[in-house]
Structure 1
Amino acid sequence: MSLLATGRLAVCAALWGAAFAPLSQASANGIDHREAVKAYFQDSLAEWVKSPEIIEAVRAQNGTTSAWTQADIDRADADWRAEVGQIERPQIDAMIQNTISQFLRQKQSAADWMIVEIIVMDGKGMNVGVSTPTSDYWQGDEAKFQKTYLQPEAGLFIDDIEYEPDTHLVISQANSAIIDPDTGEPIGAITVSLNLNKL
């Protein structure tokens, strides 16, 4: 789960209607946000989502976690959750500082506020790399994993619109399975949260 809050567009529109004029105009023109998100993903994200950096990072973690039981996952997730908001957070900091998380932050920065967050998951739904800290370590019980890694044939999964009250952002998550180019099989998943105010 992301740290992004999940209030609905109806709430944010009542409070911050003027800020969402582009989105409102798109709705008035009959354009579903999913069409715009899909187009942006295909034009700007699809190639680097398949990059060797991501593939190798997911493969490497799968080599470690493929034998993990649900009890192992729950333990790691509980440890992560306990560190959220703490000064000492060795598990979270190790994730934030790893090579793939640095790669994801570069992609987020290059997108000039279009990308709010990126999460790369392994074959168990656990974080491999994150552009910003998440509230939990295991994403395997969420749609971002269940509708991608577990249903790779469904293609890109674009979630509902959400509102982040701290930053007043309207966002939608684009989620995709990560496919091993050598086998054609899913090895993980990726979530990219997009700023619809800029789309």
Structure 2
Amino acid sequence: MEYQKIALGVLAMLVFQVCLAQPAELNLVTFEAPPYQTAGADGDDRGAIGGETVDTVTCAAKQAGWSAQITVAPQRRAIYSLKRNIADGYFAADPSAELDAIASRSNPVALEKWYFFTTDRSAKPSKHRIGVVDGSNEEVWLETNGYSIYLSVASPSQLPALLERGRIDSALMDDRLMEGLNAKSSSPVDSLHSHFLRYAPLHLYVSEVFGKKHPEFLPAFNRALPGCMEKTLTLTGRETQHIEALTKQLLAELTELLDVQQALKAGPQPETLAEVLTIDGKWQALAPEATLPLAAHILALPASETLETWQNAYQGLVTEAMVVNNMGAIVAMSRLTSDFWQGDEPKFMEVAGSGPAEEPRARKALFISPIRYDRSTARFQITVSVPVFSSAGEAPNGVIVLGLDIDKAMGI
């Protein structure tokens, strides 16, 4: 009998430990929007749910210590579930005052690319009969920003057909969603023209009750997001071509104003990489709250003043501009950067042809980074860079680096 009590006690302890080891369940609701959120083939709310945004949310929740259980519902019902605390959270939603009042918003979990689609190449969508999905993020954004909506439909698949029949003049939706609809259609609309409107950062909203009960969740979730969404923030071929053309235009203008070789000569001249790294350590320890005397000196240089004036003229399109030498050390900058040494970053290594203690590699004439989210500005940005050469050398003796607001860049 005594052995049975001991055995039961051990079993209870094991069960308790197993329960502790299981991550808590996070009950989320979303809506179908391929390729971001895709319901199972059976069409049942309880069926499998996949897609890029689902993967991102599941990944970040897991790293935050939670197991995401996701169901699919129409958007209006999903929002109702959040408001009534039936669900712990709802994604993926465009920021809205309505949701901000009743729930807590994460950093972006997805970045959609919204286009007006028309049958007329030279159309002006703002004056059109606009079609949109009822209850969608696009519908809310249009209403908030003063657009007149002509027709709201139940399903995205209805919009291409309405365009083809001339029932509406333009449809607003995510670029990849339209591509997916056309790919699945038995009679795809090949004659559609796209007009870029905006990049739409979409978020996870967690309910008020859940947020108060688990205040540690959102900070942990946000910390995990960059690694979980890294693969989903690459530019498409069309976007890359647009950025390449814009970068060439910007650099042609900048180099008319700035003597880059003179900037390289006038900037700091550390003799060794060890010296650069020593400065960098002190720089990072202070920035952005305080400024090293060397950083203040660089900001006061004529080349830095030129970069700042040129950046400001673009009213948010250009988010930073810098010139670095052949060791990756900054010699001119439009604003204080987080570090002095850029030599271990792709924006330098990809165009300079090597990194620290590396064998020479093939150089790119232009580097374009993936899209990244800047929490300090709540904007999505990219970095572009090009090598610069002295008249005498085959190897670059410096690099020009620009930060661009991707939303503004694609809108040009």
Task: Say whether the fold is shared (TM-score over 0.5).
Answer: yes
Question: What letter matches 2:264 in structure 1?
Answer: V
Structure 2 distance, partners of 1:54, 1:27, is: 39
Between the aligned partners of 2:247 and 2:288, the Cα distance in structure 1 is 32
Matched, 1:40 2:246: yes
**Residue matched to 1:93:** 296
Number of residue pairs the alignment of both structures matches: 186
Please say if 1:141 is aligned against 2:344.
Answer: yes
Q: Which has the larger radius of gyration?
A: 2
Query: CA contact under 8 A between 1:98 and 1:129: conserved in structure 2?
Result: yes
**1:149-191 deviations in whole A, cap 9, x for unaligned?**
2267421010100111232211111111112245454110011
Q: Deviation at 1:47?
A: 4.4
Partner AA of 1:173 in structure 2: T
CA 1:87–1:51 in 2, change beyond 3 Å: closer, same or farther?
Answer: closer
Amino acid at match of 1:100: A
The structure with more strand, counted as a fraction of residues: 2
Counterparts of 1:176 and 1:138 in 2: how far apart (Å)? 17
Please state which structure has a larger fraction of its residues in helix: 1
Matched, 1:55 2:265: no
Q: What residue in structure 1 maps to residue 335 of structure 2?
A: 132
Alignment of 1:1-199 (within 5 A): 14=92, 16=94, 23-25=113-115, 27-28=175-176, 32-49=238-255, 53-61=259-267, 64-65=269-270, 68-87=271-290, 89-150=292-353, 153-183=363-393, 185-199=395-409
2-structure distance, mates of 1:15, 1:97? 43
* Match of residue 67 from structure 2: none
In structure 2, the CA distance between the partners of 1:123 and 1:15, relative to structure 1 (3 Å rule), is farther
1:35 partner amino acid: Q
The 1:50–1:177 alpha-carbon spacing in structure 2 relative to 1, beyond 3 Å, is: farther
In structure 2, do the counterparts of structure 1 residues 152 and 92 end up closer, same or farther at CA, with 3 Å as the change threshold? farther
Pair 96,186 (structure 1): closer, same or farther in 2 beyond 3 Å:
same
5+ long unaligned stretches in structure 2: 1-52, 57-90, 97-110, 116-173, 177-193, 195-235, 354-360
| RMSD over aligned Cα atoms | 3.0
Q: Which has the higher contact order (CA 8 A, sep 6+)?
A: 1
Whole-Å separation in 1 of the counterparts to 2:323 and 2:93: 33
Give the distance between the partners of 1:31 and 1:152, measured in 2 at CA: 21
Q: Is the 8 Å Cα contact of residues 257 and 306 (structure 2) preserved in structure 1?
A: no
